[in-house]
Structure 1
């Protein structure tokens, strides 16, 4: 379809409902006219857009709140600014790509190169601050550079100098506009990301459905779909969102993200966003598969992993399969309240499975968590569920399997977190862990409460004089309780951390007032690890 024919198509399919931009077509007709009758009985056909056409031009010259059908094929390097009420749908095989193909290469010594590469996106400000510099680990110094190089759809590792380039890695010489890599490109697909975002947060009430959205040079903390999330009412449904450098999807209030496969994004799979000073309310993430995110190796002390939610009210995360992310699986961090995590499968994530950090009331129920936190289980880090300096958690009905090598069960953590004065102080208190089933498949692993409060804090005490803080464990005002949980293990008996004490046995944990009605046995049953299918 040619762009010039757009008006004809719209008029034929929608009659007098709408016309071309700039024409008076009776949009202001009074109620009860024939236009209203037609709107009730005649469905408006979607506006078809073929690969190679300028999508934004067609959008800008179409009636408000249109439906656009992106035809099968690759639509390259187009950044879309939706209008309120717009819908974007794809046929099977429709791809929105932020990358361009590199067709020509030269060779110098042992390396290949492509010249005249002038793209250079923004880096995260914290990485440029010499007093911070905590976005990228030392071994991955270019994790926040948004450009990627894809070799047969696999992102190569972006190294810090041309001397480090070897098979599987590349270097962007920004000063000389040249990309360098070691692998022979002959007979292979080589692409580099150029366009920042697929869909910018330019309007409310946007629907994005049935698209493959890939290889956008989104910046750290910003998303290929939704950029910063400063809008509301988005429906993101049935898409595959992959290989974008920053975040896959960010949405704002009153939004739904459902039945998407969100994988192999550079920093985080999904997140929430809001304008500064506002909160994110009533968001649903349901039946998504979120996996293998953080290929750029952004520091987990900064932000990484499967999902990161901030300043939300009424967030629901339900029925998702979250696995093999380099970082936590699901993470609420900074003043989230009224959160529900339920019926999720959270497996094989590098850090915690679910972590609720410096936040408030959360319900974590009926989730299946297994094999998270392998190799990251110092203190209570690496827990399948971690209540991290937060209050008002109800954790129940969950089934947990701790890996045979490392990892923990359920942890409550308290220490001083006063760096966010706008939200008040945060402490680990009023948390109830009950009616969960926890299996330790190896010798080690624990559950319990830990405290590292600072002397002088209102929430510090050392009741037993051993030099270790224990307010979170022992103070009546802390009110943290484990009870009615079932534990299964056939390894080391000391399965409980409890503030400054060394690991406690079952009997010792009960003597501290915990698990009055819980049980422990040696009935260890290895689970069936058949992955769930949440997308069908």
Structure 2
């Protein structure tokens, strides 16, 4: 044991963190398509009698009532009665914005891929030295973000203009003088657009619309959007303000801020691809009872917004009862799944959270969450972080190769809202329970729970930790636990469970394995986290409480394996 108040996570790092920071879960990390191959799922939804049809070449004079006589989108949206279905033929709908003011179902024609784009094809370029100019460009999307959302290293992040050449994004720069190959500049004062890549023989697309589909009017409650693609919008591909909206099997990608923003209750997002958006994949604000299930949420924060403030694969705030289940969340330049600011009763289960450039799963200044049966690997600084949050129950997660597999921390930040405090939302880290998890060979430490920021014993934050397994290739590295015994000994390093058990009385039934050969998984180095035959994790887990078992989708009251279960 070494007394160290600044081990691994410095107090300055923690100070920065305080500012920010039923399906089967696959036990292997899925392979995700790159941006060049991103598409829309092929769907085959039934077409009800009385449906309306649209296409990119639809004519107002057509009947709109058959696949071979489609309308333009605007006419169908205006003409279809509440409760109707509008069927989108495949192709690209340019410079489109849809405001729903009635309950509608918008769906793809069977086996076709309709793309709705907030951009137009730009031609008429004039060469000016080594760059090219478009005159009469009347679109400029200036920053709308508060200053803390912008990383000083990327000052153009708040500018929401976008230009693509043959589907490849150009980088926006702040002046004409900085335009070069692969970049663009919008001169809003003089209505000019400049690019540094020769457009000859290429398709140039530039953003002209702020949102794609706006389900904002309360009369749109209960609408369904399925099988569509929404791209190139300056703000969001989809903005939801009405209740009970369902979005499924759609692709929301390459939008300036968010793939989808949910600012209402009862939304269901299922089976979607939400990728390559400028700031966040999913933005939830007071998105009570949000169901985020079976989505791919990847490669978001392409504009490099601040990771500690607003960027995320999916981020919810002020939300009660959100469920995040069965999602694949990978390669976001941000936190993967983020429960933030006074959110309560969250369920985060059966997800694969991999290779995000900040924490995999964050619970910050919030209360009461189930975080269970997730496969979480390759994230930094933490696989799971519990920060100024209470009543987190962390069960049956597989945590591997994260900088810290699990980080639990309390700081001096405290809630001052009496109505929230009365509901247990104190912003004090208390009542964290950690059971049945596998901590596999992190790059820093397995379980970091220093009490130094507020000079306290870690047991105040985490009264129960047991029935876990720790695997390392060598006995001294990485450390199993960093823990505060009391206010004076606020950060002790324990290299073995035996020494930790002796000092704290915790982890009585946990397992410490040091072996050059991994006995747990089929092939963890290849991201295959299935338990191998004879794994010491088999049957070693404590029976689950009924609500956690139900959330994961397994039987309660019987012993389970350690790590992710489904």
Q: Structure 1 residue 159: deviation in Å? A: 2.0
Contact 1:416/1:426, CA 8 A, preserved across alignment: no
What is the root-mean-square deviation of aligned Cα atoms in Å? 2.2
1:140-155 to 2 correspondence within 5 Å? Answer: 140-155=154-169
* Cα deviations by residue, 1:56-106 (Å, 9 ceiling, x for unpaired): 333122212211111111111121111332111123121101001111212
> Structure 1-normalised TM-score?
0.78
Q: Structure 1 residue 420: deviation in Å? A: 6.0
Q: 1-side partners of 2:310 and 2:329: how far apart?
A: 16
Worse-matched range after superposition: 412-421 or 91-100: 412-421
Q: Structure 1 residue 210: deviation in Å? A: 0.5
Which of these residues, 350, 357, 381, is aligned with residue 357 of structure 2? 350
1:321-336 to 2 correspondence within 5 Å? Answer: 321-336=328-343
SS at match of 1:300: coil
Q: Paired residue for 1:114?
A: 134
Contact 2:90/2:108, CA 8 A, preserved across alignment: yes
Q: Paired residue for 1:6?
A: none
Which of these residues, 488, 504, 514, is aligned with residue 522 of structure 1? 514
Contact 2:113/2:227, CA 8 A, preserved across alignment: no
Q: Paired residue for 1:270?
A: 282
Q: Paired residue for 1:464?
A: none
Q: Structure 1 residue 281: deviation in Å? A: 2.4
Contact 1:72/1:90, CA 8 A, preserved across alignment: yes
Contact 2:356/2:379, CA 8 A, preserved across alignment: yes
* Cα deviations by residue, 1:423-446 (Å, 9 ceiling, x for unpaired): 34311111001110111165x333
Which of these residues, 50, 55, 79, is aligned with residue 97 of structure 2? 79
Q: 1-side partners of 2:257 and 2:355: how far apart?
A: 21
SS at match of 2:152: coil
Can you give the 5+ residue segments of structure 1 that lack an aligned partner in the other structure? 1-41, 127-132, 275-279, 374-381, 454-459, 461-468
1:503 partnered with 2:503: no
Q: 1-side partners of 2:452 and 2:143: how far apart?
A: 34
Q: Paired residue for 1:377?
A: none
Contact 1:69/1:88, CA 8 A, preserved across alignment: yes
Which of these residues, 243, 246, 249, is aligned with residue 238 of structure 1? 249
Q: After the TM superposition, which parts of structure 1 deviate over 4 Å for at least 4 consecutive aligned residues?
A: none
Q: 1:106 to 1:318 in 2, by over 3 A?
A: same
Q: Paired residue for 1:417?
A: 413
Worse-matched range after superposition: 328-337 or 54-63: 54-63
Q: 2-side partners of 1:447 and 1:479: how far apart?
A: 11
1:245-324 to 2 correspondence within 5 Å? Answer: 245-251=256-262, 252-274=264-286, 280-324=287-331
Q: Paired residue for 2:75?
A: 57
> Structure 2-normalised TM-score?
0.74
1:401 partnered with 2:400: yes
* Cα deviations by residue, 1:295-320 (Å, 9 ceiling, x for unpaired): 01111122112100112222111111
Which of these residues, 130, 133, 144, is aligned with residue 124 of structure 1? 144
Worse-matched range after superposition: 499-508 or 351-360: 499-508
Q: 2-side partners of 1:497 and 1:168: how far apart?
A: 46
Q: Paired residue for 1:47?
A: 52
Contact 1:368/1:400, CA 8 A, preserved across alignment: yes
* Cα deviations by residue, 1:323-373 (Å, 9 ceiling, x for unpaired): 111101111101111111111111111111111111111111111111111
SS at match of 1:495: strand
Q: Structure 1 residue 174: deviation in Å? A: 1.9
1:488 partnered with 2:471: yes
Q: Structure 1 residue 520: deviation in Å? A: 1.2
Q: Paired residue for 2:560?
A: none
Q: 1:110 to 1:364 in 2, by over 3 A?
A: same
Q: Paired residue for 1:449?
A: 449
Can you give the 5+ residue segments of structure 2 that lack an aligned partner in the other structure? 1-46, 59-71, 485-489, 531-566
* Cα deviations by residue, 1:96-143 (Å, 9 ceiling, x for unpaired): 0100111121222222222221112352252xxxxxx22221221111
SS at match of 2:98: coil
Q: 2-side partners of 1:283 and 1:355: how far apart?
A: 17
Contact 1:402/1:445, CA 8 A, preserved across alignment: no
Q: Paired residue for 1:426?
A: 427
Q: Paired residue for 1:217?
A: 234
* Cα deviations by residue, 1:350-398 (Å, 9 ceiling, x for unpaired): 111111111111111111111111xxxxxxxx11111111010110111
Which of these residues, 173, 190, 194, is aligned with residue 176 of structure 1? 190
Q: 1:384 to 1:493 in 2, by over 3 A?
A: closer
Q: Structure 1 residue 447: deviation in Å? A: 1.1
Contact 2:450/2:491, CA 8 A, preserved across alignment: no
Q: 1:529 to 1:188 in 2, by over 3 A?
A: farther
Q: How many residues align?
A: 445
Q: Paired residue for 1:36?
A: none
SS at match of 1:338: strand
Q: 2-side partners of 1:134 and 1:452: how far apart?
A: 26
1:150-165 to 2 correspondence within 5 Å? Answer: 150-165=164-179
SS at match of 2:75: helix
Q: Structure 1 residue 322: deviation in Å? A: 0.7
Q: 2-side partners of 1:270 and 1:342: how far apart?
A: 17
Contact 1:414/1:427, CA 8 A, preserved across alignment: yes
Q: 2-side partners of 1:119 and 1:334: how far apart?
A: 35
Q: 2-side partners of 1:296 and 1:370: how far apart?
A: 24
Q: 1:401 to 1:434 in 2, by over 3 A?
A: same
Q: Paired residue for 1:24?
A: none
Q: 1:57 to 1:514 in 2, by over 3 A?
A: same
Q: 1-side partners of 2:247 and 2:173: how far apart?
A: 34
